[in-house]
Amino acid sequence: MRYVRDNIDRLAAYTPGEQPVRTDVVKLNTNENPYPPTQAVMRAIAAVSPDQLRRYPSPQATTFRKAAAEVHDVQPTQIIATNGGDELLRMVMTAFCQPHPQGGRGVGVASPSYSLYPVLAEIHETSVTVVPLNDDFSIPADFATRLNDTACGLAMLVNPHAPSGRFQPIDQLAEIARSFNGVLLIDEAYVDFAQSDALSLVRGESAMKNVVILRTLSKGYSLAGLRFGYGVAHASLIEALDKIRDSYNTDAVSQAAAVAALQSRADASQSWKKVIDERQRMTHELKALGFAVLPSASNFVLASPTPGGLAAADIYRSLKDRGIFVRYFDQDRLRDKLRITIGTPQQNDALLAGIKSLETSSV
């Protein structure tokens, strides 16, 4: 007797980066911010009252929507709060895609990209149109046309791109949104480490009606453990997404923390600056060790070791043996590369020393 729905039975689940139980490791594998959350966030969590826990939370996270609207210069009706950015990814698929027997309204993704996207498509039994990125990880000029050809209802692009860190200029994303017949989700999980963002596309009278911007507090605000993200879009799309939200999808503690996080943005941005400085340094240092490193607008770099030297997979395993975790993807176009999260200067130095020790021990 098989109890599980066929597509779920077949499903290869998303594999997150390893979260080792040991705390004495140098953890540069899941793009967490190496600095603590702001003090305002910690105070807000400590100030949560027994009554706030006894009662159900605000279903729509009303206070948060107001705070986010203020910070981003949009209306509160343009914000939806979600249980991590990942919940928003699931929600856009439920709202804008159709299961394949009905045809059309599948999802279009670029490859390589966030490996959760195709897993969500499989769960929703919706078809996936995969468009390979150019060699430099830029988005091909015919991206929207190719998605229109297969009648996609949704496109998902991550900017700055993961796992390359490449920043796609916003006017090119706007052009894709204009040409595309479905909804474009712009995943800005790493935007706090970049120079600009796509919010202008959803702001004011000329706001595009087919763009959803994903934000998360996991990376920029050092709150991956809290699980809080949000979407910014034209109110008509937010209304649709709101219909399919779990009744209480974000909890009272995380709502309080999220409001404090956005309101202490200036403090949080201190950590962004430190990460950006270290990103420059690490790019330079890794290049000096013979790696090819792509320019990154994110809190990680994608680095390829010298061809003919130690393979990326071997470096990954040997570093892990030394208690240094980076991310290795055993898939096309990434197999010869390592994705390295930017840590504190001390963590980054430990990584560089680890790599140097491999080189000497392999001679």
Ligand X SMILES: *Cc1c(COP(=O)(O)O)cnc(C)c1O
Kindly tell me which of 188 and 354 has the beta carbon lying closer to ligand X: 188
Kindly tell me which of 86 and 278 has the beta carbon lying closer to ligand X: 86
Kindly tell me which of 216 and 283 has the beta carbon lying closer to ligand X: 216
Cβ neighbors of 30 (< 8 A, separation 6 or more) are 16, 17, 18, 19, 224, 327, 341
Q: How far is the CB of 83 from ligand X (least distance, A)?
A: 8
Q: How far is the CB of 157 from ligand X (least distance, A)?
A: 10
In whole angstroms, give the CA distance from residue 70 to residue 52. Answer: 24
Q: How far is the CB of 111 from ligand X (least distance, A)?
A: 13
- Considering only CA atoms, give the Rg of the chain: 21
How open is the CA angle 282-23-264, to the nearest 5 degrees? 65
Query: Would you call 113 helix, strand, or coil by DSSP?
Result: coil
In whole angstroms, give the CA distance from residue 62 to residue 180. Answer: 32
**Nearest partner of 261 among 222, 204, 307, judged by Cα:** 222
Contact 7, 125 (CB under 8 A): yes
Kindly tell me which of 83 and 283 has the beta carbon lying closer to ligand X: 83
Full strand arrangement of the beta sheet holding 107-111 = 79-82, 229-233, 211-216, 183-187, 154-158, 107-111, 128-132
Q: By the criterion CB under 6 A, which residues form the site for ligand X?
A: 84-86, 114, 158, 162, 187, 189, 216, 218-219, 224, 229
Kindly tell me which of 114 and 291 has the beta carbon lying closer to ligand X: 114
Q: How far is the CB of 204 from ligand X (least distance, A)?
A: 26
Tokens of 286: 């890794």
Judged on CB neighbours under 10 Å (0-12, 13-18, 19+), 306 is exposed
Kindly tell me which of 85 and 182 has the beta carbon lying closer to ligand X: 85
In whole angstroms, give the CA distance from residue 340 to residue 301. Answer: 5
In whole angstroms, give the CA distance from residue 147 to residue 233. Answer: 21
Contact 300, 31 (CB under 8 A): yes
- How far, in Å, are 27, 152, 292, 362 from residue 325 at the CA level? 5, 37, 19, 19
Q: How far is the CB of 116 from ligand X (least distance, A)?
A: 7
Q: How far is CA 85 from the centre of its chain?
A: 7
In whole angstroms, give the CA distance from residue 80 to residue 233. Answer: 9
- How far, in Å, are 132, 164, 237, 334 from residue 135 at the CA level? 9, 11, 34, 12
Kindly tell me which of 224 and 358 has the beta carbon lying closer to ligand X: 224
Kindly tell me which of 219 and 337 has the beta carbon lying closer to ligand X: 219
Q: How far is the CB of 224 from ligand X (least distance, A)?
A: 5
Q: How far is the CB of 145 from ligand X (least distance, A)?
A: 24
Kindly tell me which of 118 and 305 has the beta carbon lying closer to ligand X: 118
Kindly tell me which of 17 and 76 has the beta carbon lying closer to ligand X: 17
